[in-house]
Every structure is written in C-alpha cells, then in structure tokens.
Structure 1
Amino acid sequence: SFANPQLEELLSRDSECRIAEPISSRPNISISPKAPANPPAPSPARNRTCYVEGYCDSSMDDSEYVFSALQSCNDGGHVVFREGINYTIGTALDLTFLNHIDIEVQSQIQFTNDTDYWQANSFRFVFQNVTSFFKLGGNDVNIYGGGLVDGNGQVWYDLCAKDIYILRPVLFGLDGLHNSTIILFFIANSTGVVIDNIDIAGKSTSENDAKNTDVGYLPKFWDCHAKFTCYKWRWYIQDPASLSGHSLTVFRADCVSFKPNSTDIIVQHMYCVGSHGMSVGSLGQYKGAFDIVEDIYVFNVSMYNASNAARIKVWPNVASVKSGDLQGGGGDGRVRKITFDTMIMGEVDCAIQVNQCYGNQKNLTLCLEFQSPLTIKDIVFKNFQGTTSKKYQPEIAAVACSSEAACANISATSINVKSPNGTKDAYCLNVNETALDLGFGGP
C-alpha cells in the first residue's frame, strides 16, 4: 500500500483540473446472438462514489491517488477517473483485492516511459515471459467509460528493435478475476468476465514495427480498434455495434489468441485488419506441460490484410526455434470442439491453417520424425467467404498434421474463398480430405 502523510491535504486541494464530472450509468451489455449457457448475474447498485485525484503534472506519479480511491470505494463503491485530468502511472499496481466495485474511466491514463523500472517491477506471468503494468483481480468488477489508456508503446517498440529479449508489459493483467466486466488484458485464472466495447491503438510512428501487439491473450493491435466481451461460459468477446465505422487493426500479432488452458469461450462480431488472425495457440511449446484448448466458438469475424483468418498452431515434439525470442516444442495436450463460423476476408494469405510444425515449418522431415503428441479433434470451419492474397495461390488453406492419429474429425464446409486466380486449393497432410470443402494438394 501507499503511505503518504500529505495525502489528505493533496486530496482536499482545489485545482482547475479537479472538476467533478457527472458519473455514467453502468453499460447494459447484451451478449448475442451466441450466448453463454450461464450468463453472469447483474451487479448490484453501488452505494458511494470516489473521484480519483491527480497531480495534473505528467512528471508526477498519480499511482497513490489511484490506489487510495480503489481502496476507499472497494466493497460496493464507484471509482471515477475524471474527465479533464490526465493521470500518470509510474508504479506497478497490484489490484487483485477488488470486490464489488465499478471503475469508470472518463479521462486519459498513461504509463511512464521508464523502461528500466517497468522491466524490473512489472508483474510476471510464467507463460511466454508475459509481464504487465497492472494486475487486476477480485470479484464483481466493472470497468467502463470513454477514456484512454496509453501504454507509451513507442518507447517499447524502439527498445525492442535494439534488444528483442526485453520484457515488454501488456497494459493490464487480469489474474483471478471473476464475474466482471473489464478492459485490456492478459487473462489468467479468471472466469465469468465480460470484455466489451474497447478501442485499442498501437501504431508505431518510427521505422520500428509495433511487434506482438496482440489484442488478447486468452486464458491471453500496428493500429487497432476493437470491442469485446469475455465470459464462462467462461470468456465472451464481442462487438455488439454495427461494424460500419469501426476498424480493428492488428499488425504482426494475433487478433485473438487462445492460449493454453482456454476453455468455454465465445468470440463474435470482430473486425481485424493486418493481423495474424484468430489463433488457437501456439500450443505444446513447453516440454512437460499439458495444454488444453476446447469449447471455443468464433462467430461473425471480418479479417483483412492478414496472414491468416483462422488457424491452429502447435509446436512439434522437438526443440524448435521460431525466432530468437520464440522457441519451444515437446509439449502435450489437446485441442477439441473448436468452431470458426462465418468469417469474411480479403487479402488474407491463408484462410484456414492447421499446423503441427509451428516453429519448424522449414524442416518437415524433422517435424514428421518427432510427431507432436497433442491431439486436434472436432474442429469446424464453416461459412467462409472472400479472397486470399496471391502469396500461396493456388492454395487458400493448409491443414497439416504430424500424424494421422493426431487429427480427427476436422471439417470445412461452405468455404467460398478463392485466390486471385480463382482457385481454392489446399495443402493437406495426414488429414481426412473428404470432410474438407477444398481442392487438395500435398507433399
């Protein structure tokens, strides 16, 4: 906690930047048309309001004000980041104590550009060296409002160009969060969470790419805008509004990534430009780990200028190197009951990809020799339409399993996607081709 003997004086100080704004009503989110089996119960009314004060000085750390307001209004209150105040956060905040609280962001919250501090003090998750500025957890937490959260991404993009091994934090880590409505996220150990109506921007203004700007790591955009809802049914992600006028842009990263131990998730109504697509995985990265991804439904997603539309990526059963900072292989697990339904695409390199040689694609012999023990079963791709880029034409899809035993019951129906020359061929390996509404090729 923060101990500051001057806090009471600071909180009572009047200033032009401390003008109380009217609070908003909590949004009423409709989860449709694909709804969870057990939707979250509505939160009770809140009984008090705490306005977050600030120094109104970007060189000063407002973390103490944030922490104080959240403590004061925890267990039944409503915290407001007020319009007209730009808040600066320079301290890693562990907010896993939250309970029955609404947090309304009307303003801008910016994290400092002190990369040395954040690398040393941000919260670490075991998975893929993920770190986070914030760690949010608790029960019945609603975060909403029309404000902006700025992770100061440019300094990280430029630093990563010099050293790919730096630990770059995600904006928020959700750890042990239940029955809540929330924003921006790495998600772990959480259930009953709704994530809805978010705009995300992560564009690089220098020659250095905005690398790995994934929208969501589930159990985990260059320029991104999105709206979401996550739930248990465990997680639920959606954009309930009309897609007209909105663009969700994700470059060099997955639009949504279902990481190990992601289950019971619905994703619907998303528009992604420039991403790696809707991805299951990567899985099987860690030797000795058993990864599970199952009961996932992806519905009504538009994907443009992307490397993939829908994909499943699994590491082989041998140490492999995808890049200097991405290595793995040798893990076990299962992927089961995954549905990609209604996807519209344009200039996507690969409409459908199932790959059990992730990180080792250039050495198929080695991949087939060290077959992944991770199984992929009951996978549905249906109602796809649009065009691919010319990168892989005449092929529009690739379904490659390391062995016939590894994959079962993979189907593709109503696939109305063509390459620029009008073909819809697919590369297939160790898979039942009769269940795929595609042309076929192979090794």
Structure 2
Amino acid sequence: MSSSTIFSRSTTFILFLFIGLITNVQAVDFHVKRYGARANGNSDDSQAIMKAWKDACSSTKPSKIVIPGGRYVVDSMKFQGPCLAPIHVQVEGRLQAPTNIKKMRNDASWIVFQYINGLTVSGKGTFDGRGSLAWKQNQCASSGKCGSLPISLRFFSLNNSLIKDITSTDSKFFHMNVHNCRNVTLRNINIDAPGDSPNTDGIHIGGSSGITIHDARIKTGDDCVSIGDGSQQINVEKVTCGPGHGISIGSLGKYKNEKPVSGITVRDCTITNTMFGVRIKTWPASTKGIASNMQFENIVMDNVGTPILIDQQYCPYGTCHHQVPSRVQISDVGFKNIRGTSTTQVAVKLVCSRGYPCKNVKLSNINLKYSGTNGTAISECSNVKPAVVGRVVPPACTRAFAA
C-alpha cells in the first residue's frame, strides 16, 4: 500500500471520527421556515436562509440549519465563517438558481461555503442550477473566455468537513469546485447534466490536500472529476462517470506559478460512454510544473473514446504554440487493472513532452478492445518508454505518435 493511500485513508478516518464526536453533541436546530422561507418555487428565499446561517454560525454549540422539502428560489448565497462551533446544513428541499444570469449578483459562484472548520452539508436535497439557458451563452470554446458563468457550489478554505448525499443538477458552469481545502470528504454525491452541456465539470479540485471523493454518480458535459494544480493526496474512488469527458488531472501549465500535483489515486471506477477515460493533460508552451505519483487502478471502461491518455499537447481552442513543448514534468504514473472497450482504435495514447519526456510510466494488466468492426486496438506513444507488467492489450507503443 502506498504512503499516499495510507495518508488518505488515515485522514478520512480522522475526519469521520471528528464528525462522529460532533454529532454525539445535541445540535441546536435553525429551521429556515422560521426565518420566513416560503419554499413555494416563486418567492426569493435567499435572505431567510442567510439569516438562519448568521444565527447558526454565531452559536457556541454545534448547530444545524434545516432546509425542509419544498422549492426554494435563491440568488447567490455566501455561507461564510469562521463559525464558533461545528455547523451542519441539512438540505432536504430543492434549491433553484435564477435562470437568467443577468438577474444574479455579480458573483463567480451561485452558492459558496468558505472559511469554515467542521462543516457538514448533507440531505437528499438538490441544488438545481437551471443552466439550460446559460449553456447557449457559453462562449468558452469560441473565445477561450470561460469565467463568465457561475459555478453552482464552491467550497473554499474548508477544513475537516463532509459533503454527503446531495445532488447537483444542470449547473450553468462547474457543478462543484473544491479549492484551498484540507481534509474534506465528498461521499454519495449525485451530479446530473446532459452530455452536451458545455463546461459543466462535475467536481473540480485545486490547491487542496487530503480530499476524498467516495461513491459518486456523475453525468455531465465535461470532466466528471478534474484535478488542478496544487492538489496533493487526492483519493477518487467508486465513481460512476458518463456521459462526459472522463476523469482528468489537469489541464496544467496554463498559468504562472502553478503548484505541483502529487499523490493522486483514482480507483474502482466505472467510465461509460465518455470522450476519454482517465487522462493527464498539460498545455504546450506551458509554464514549468510538476505532476508526479499518479495512480489509476481497477477501472472499467465501457464504450470510451480514448480510455488511457497522457496529452501534453492539450489545446481545446486551437490557438496554441505546438512548436514549443510543454514544460510540465510528468513522472511516476501507473495504469493498472484497466479493462473494457474503446470506440477508437487508439485505446492507449501517451503523448509526452519532447522537452520534458515522461518518467517512470507503468502499464500493468491492461485489457482494452476496440469495439469497431475494422481493425484492433492499438497504442501510440511519443517521448515515453513505459514499463510493462503482466498482460497488456493492446501492446504498449505499437505505433509512434508524431509529436
């Protein structure tokens, strides 16, 4: 067992122990309907919910905000700490975002939880981004300007926290963004958006450590899980992904002073009807960076475009300087026990930087078959010499990729 796995499981155990001790203390309940929330699907309930938050956050005893069943139309809300005691937000109703982004406050996110230690967000409720109109306004692919639409749920500077059982649907942009957090678990999460909804990443992680995603069902129009710079000791397991673009590390190298990525484990996942499977992506002509100790294990691919991919020429908008190689050093990568079907013949594609070739890449027990009628699966490689352990189908580097 790797040191990163031991670290991840230890921090998860400590987190659950911490939360268990909290829940044994009788929490003070704050029901949002007592603060004037109507839950009728028409009235703006933002102020009532924020009043409940203010009182709960000021409580010296552990507190619980209860959002019961019903439809709550809410504008941008910021649940900000620090709070005086651990706090639990129990969502049983359906929170609905404004459909017209012009009517939202000028925020980059719809709902934000930030600067909180010991937060729990749970319940069978739904955060409904109502993004179908906003998707038509998305100009990310045409202009490269991708920051004009709000993220549905932003978790910023949380410590020792648990997000569980909730659903996010039809976000205008990313569903969930975990940034600058420590020891946070997302468990039993449901994310749902159409496969053609642009830039609706399921869960994006950046600048965080000790993050665990356990048991998630993600259907979306972009990456099911994406892991950005500064991510350390991230554990992704038992994720069912598809439709979407798969599970990704990156893209990396676009901005100055990006922090290293290391200690990433993706295991026991099923990826179905996606554009990609598991991939690492960095920009050409990038800034310097490091991405190391990344393991992908026990993954089933069902009807996936390219199941295994390292792409150091990532350029989604077609305006890159491909003649300048990526300067992100990728090393210590393992693809182990990955099986299933590819919808393209190139089932394994390892395109590394000619300036910074990949180091210590290992393929172990791979069995990927091309689902088409003509030909068999192949693999392409450039600037990498992967080690092979066990049976690997298609054979490693059956064709050189002209990088």
Taking structure 2 as the reference length, the TM-score comes to: 0.83
Match of 2:172? Answer: none
Distance in 2, Cα, partners of 1:434 & 1:140 = 43
The 5-angstrom pairing of residues 289-328 of structure 1 reads 289-317=257-285
Query: Which residue number in structure 2 is paired with residue 214 of structure 1?
Result: 201
Which residue identity lines up with residue 331 of structure 1 in the other structure? T
8 A Cα contact 1:374 1:406, kept in partner: no
Aligned residues of 1:396 and 1:418 also touching (Cα < 8 A):
yes
* Preserved contact between residue 373 and residue 406 of structure 1 (Cα < 8 Å): no
| 2:64 equivalent in structure 1 | 78
| Structure 2 match to 1:89 | 74
Using the alignment, how far apart are the partners of 1:361 and 1:413 within structure 2? 33
Corresponding residue to 1:382 among 336, 342, 353 = 336
Q: Give the Cα separation in 1 of the matches to 2:303 and 2:327.
A: 33
- 1:333 aligns with one of 275, 289, 296: 289
**Aligned equivalent of 2:101:** 115
Residue 336 of structure 1: SS of its match in structure 2?
strand
In structure 2, what is the Cα distance between the partners aligned to 1:91 and 1:161?
Answer: 22
Counterpart residue number, 1:38: 11
Give 3-state SS (helix, strand or coil) of 1:66's partner: helix
Residue 441 (str. 1) matches residue 394 (str. 2): no
The alignment partner of 1:42 has SS state of: helix
In 1, the alpha carbon distance for the partners of 2:319 and 2:121 equals 46
Deviation at 1:290, TM superposition (A): 2.7
Partner of 1:143 in structure 2? 121
Q: Please give the secondary structure, in 1, of the residue aligned with 2:158.
A: strand
**Aligned partners of 2:376, 2:287: CA distance in 1, in Å?**
36
Q: What corresponds to 1:358 in structure 2? A: 314
Give me the whole-angstrom Cα distance separating, in 2, the residues matched to 1:422 and 1:103. 54
- Identity, in percent, stands at 25
Once residues 282 and 91 of structure 1 are traced to their aligned partners in structure 2, the CA distance between those partners, rounded to angstroms, is 28
Residues 33, 373 of structure 1: alpha-carbon distance in 2 compared, 3 angstrom cutoff: closer
Find the partner of 1:372 among 312, 326, 333.
326
Residue 254 (structure 2) aligns with: 285
Give the direction of change, closer, same or farther, for the CA distance of 1:379–1:314 in structure 2 (3 Å limit).
Answer: same
Counterpart of 1:423 (choices 352, 373, 376) is 376
Alignment deviations for residues 175-218 of structure 1 (CA, whole Å, 9 cap, x no partner): 111101126621111111111112222238xxxx4111111111
Whole-Å separation in 2 of the counterparts to 1:156 and 1:272: 23
CA RMSD of aligned residues (A): 2.7
The residue number in structure 1 matching 2:231 is 262
Instruction: For residue 281 of structure 1, report the CA deviation from its aligned partner.
Output: 0.1
- Partners in 1 of 2:316 and 2:100 — Cα distance? 36
Shift of 1:109: 0.9
The 5-angstrom pairing of residues 155-304 of structure 1 reads: 155-160=133-138, 165=145, 167-182=148-163, 185-203=176-194, 209-219=196-206, 232=209, 234-239=210-215, 248-251=218-221, 253-286=222-255, 288-304=256-272
Unpaired runs of at least 5, structure 2: 167-174
Query: Structure 1's 105 and 56: CA in aligned 2 closer, same or farther, altered over 3 A?
Result: closer
Q: 1:144 to 1:416 in 2, by over 3 A?
A: same
How many residues are treated as equivalent by the alignment? Answer: 362
* TM-score, reference length from structure 1: 0.75
Name 1:50's counterpart in structure 2: 30
Q: Which has more strand, going by share of residues?
A: 2
